[in-house]
Structure 1
Amino acid sequence: MSGRLLANLVLVPTILLTLGVNASRVAALGEEARGSGPAFGNPWAIAIEANGNLVVTDRGLEAVVRVNPLSGDRTIVSDANIGSGPAFGNPWAITTEANGNLVVVDAGLKAVVRVNPVSGDRTIVSNANIGPGPGFGDPFDIAIEPSGDLMVVDRGLEAVVRVNPLSGERTIVSDANIGSGPGLKDPFDIAIEPSGDSVVVERGLKA
């Protein structure tokens, strides 16, 4: 997929919801297990680290929370008080890079943010001021291509945006003007198939 301007988009029934949509249920593991640590405020999206720990974005706490999958213990990985860098504004989706770094889509900052999983330091990967290309409108979900490029669905732009993880450059992969097929109206979630194709849950099209 690296170097391709256009990615093939495949629409699937909305019944195939991703963990990001139902993260409040999954993340509730920590509460149901009566684990120690700060209670969730508004848990939203979830990813799994290489060691099996769960990392959850919490919009209420404006934080990334690590959850022990056995004990349910919750630990703040990064928030306004833990880790340097810009504080989260509205952290939505989260994924993990091959090197273990966490990558968060923040709708409040209109940015993609890289989080050090040990220190909690936050670094802007891409926003209107970092990296060329169209600024984010309402970035909502994220996935990582085999090449390491970041794929973001943006509800404001009604588009899928590829982000270079080093330069922050943003390139529209698919929208009403790029790519054939029905235009995106409310792209909600994204995943990458083994073939490299992007699969999008589209609430506007109910597909």
Structure 2
Amino acid sequence: MKFNPPPGWPAPPERWAPDSSWQPDPSWPAPPDGWPLWLPVTNDVTKTKVLEAYFDGARAALPEPPLIATTPHAIQEQAAQSHPRRVSTTSPSSSALQWRPRHRAVIVCVVVVAAIVVSAALTAVKFAGSSDVSSYTSPNTGALTSLNGPADVAITPVGDLYVVDGKNNRVFELLAGSSNQTELPFIGLNQPDGIAVTTNGDVYVSDSNNNRVLKLAGGSKTQAAVPFTGLKNPGGLAVTADGVVYVADMGNNRVLKLTPGSSAQTGVLFSNLRNPTAVAVDAAGDLFVADSGNNQVRKLTAATNTQTVLPFTVLDAPNAIAATADGDVYVTDGNDSDRVFELPAASNTQSVLPFTGLKDPGGLAVTAGRDIVVAEYGNNRVVKLSISPKHGGSFACWDGAAAAQGIVDR
């Protein structure tokens, strides 16, 4: 980010850093209405940290939200427009607001390149003392190589795996039983973020930095733009069985809907969203959204068209969401939380799933057999948790490693 001093303010030092002694003074004149204090700089790799003291001292001289970067929340939203799924901040009440590098970095970016391998046969390791944990064997026999910033995953009912390779601007398909990955023929991608796959093989991808959603019809080699308009850093996607497409329009703080055969999008009636990162739809047509800036998960019930906040607690930065046919909801939580939560249907009590060593978990998918698959950006890998409907399970990294976890009493 580049500081953009308003009239009457002296310029800060070049690439102002957290350890700089320069601080804005509350006695300086208030910026004009709408003045953007912070401007994104392409390929700026500086880790930027803004001290809370700045806001305590200068708050009275600054305009009110929603102007850009005038409060901790506004700075979070501004950063989120360029790398929304991986924006990480401390709480606004904490002593500092920090941007950590994420895969979507136009403003802030540190990239680590690594390889991910999908094991030919991942067998679940039973938990000690658990009698009803069934073994699981992955139908995938190939390898996903040279991934760089996996952003999202999708799995079909037959076990076909799709991965958004965010920093490499490509999408991979690994069919069940195949030994070869295939790069799908999307062209011109710039930071793809979300993915959804239908039962007939249509693949939808949010091309975030190009502000569009693309569709590759099953069996086709030619992409087509889905006729959403006015998108700003679109993120997570969901597609219903009858072809309705939902997208989290993160930069515009809204969720959009497009019905089959229509070119007229409609806004979904969620109120006061902040940086919505992902959406999911269950079998009843209920819509869920990860409201990252408000650290909430919301549900819009189809039958009543009413929204509620689901009883997840202590969410730090909900990144992605999945909902099962029977109403269970799963959420990846980023920032320093690095956890995956489950909220069973009709329950008010969340549980933490026993993934270990997660770093910046992103998109996730849940199979019919209750295998939870997560695109783990921070460790450049895809991980899977195999669990039975009632008790326990096993955790495996899709690089061929597997490790037993403790008993999960569910």
Q: 2:207 aligns with which of 17, 21, 24?
A: 24
Q: Is the 8 A contact 2:213 2:226 kept in 1?
A: no
Q: Is the 8 A contact 1:57 1:94 kept in 2?
A: yes
The alignment's TM-score, normalised by the length of structure 1, stands at: 0.72
CA distance in 2, matches of 1:191, 1:32: 24
Tell me which amino acid in the other structure corresponds to 2:379.
L
Cα distance 1:121–1:64, how it changes in 2: closer, same or farther (>3 A)?
farther
Distance apart, 1:60 and its partner CA: 2.3
Matched residue of 1:57: which SS?
strand
Q: Is the 8 A contact 1:62 1:91 kept in 2?
A: yes
Cα distance 1:28–1:62, how it changes in 2: closer, same or farther (>3 A)?
farther
CA distance in 2, matches of 1:28, 1:39: 14
Distance apart, 1:91 and its partner CA: 0.9
Matched residue of 1:19: which SS?
strand
Please say if 1:190 is aligned against 2:364. Answer: yes
Paired position in structure 1 for 2:237? 46
Map 1:52-201 onto structure 2 (within 5 A). 52-80=243-271, 87-117=272-302, 121-128=306-313, 135-156=314-335, 157-176=337-356, 183-201=357-375
Matched residue of 2:380: which SS?
coil
Cα distance 1:52–1:34, how it changes in 2: closer, same or farther (>3 A)?
closer
Cα distance 1:185–1:51, how it changes in 2: closer, same or farther (>3 A)?
same
Q: Deviations over 1:44-89 (max 9, x none)?
A: 1111124311111111221111113433321112244xxxxxx211
CA distance in 2, matches of 1:146, 1:73: 28
Higher normalized strand content (fraction of residues): 1
Distance apart, 1:168 and its partner CA: 3.6
The alignment's TM-score, normalised by the length of structure 2, stands at: 0.39
Matched residue of 1:189: which SS?
strand
Higher relative contact order (CA 8 A, sep 6+): 1
Q: Is the 8 A contact 1:146 1:196 kept in 2?
A: no
Distance apart, 1:138 and its partner CA: 1.1
Structure 2 stretches lacking a partner, 5+ long: 1-131, 151-162, 165-193, 197-203, 216-223, 382-410
Tell me which amino acid in the other structure corresponds to 2:249.
D
Tell me which amino acid in the other structure corresponds to 2:289.
V
Structure 1 stretches lacking a partner, 5+ long: 81-86, 129-134, 177-182
CA distance in 2, matches of 1:79, 1:42: 18
Aligned Cα root-mean-square deviation (Å): 3.2
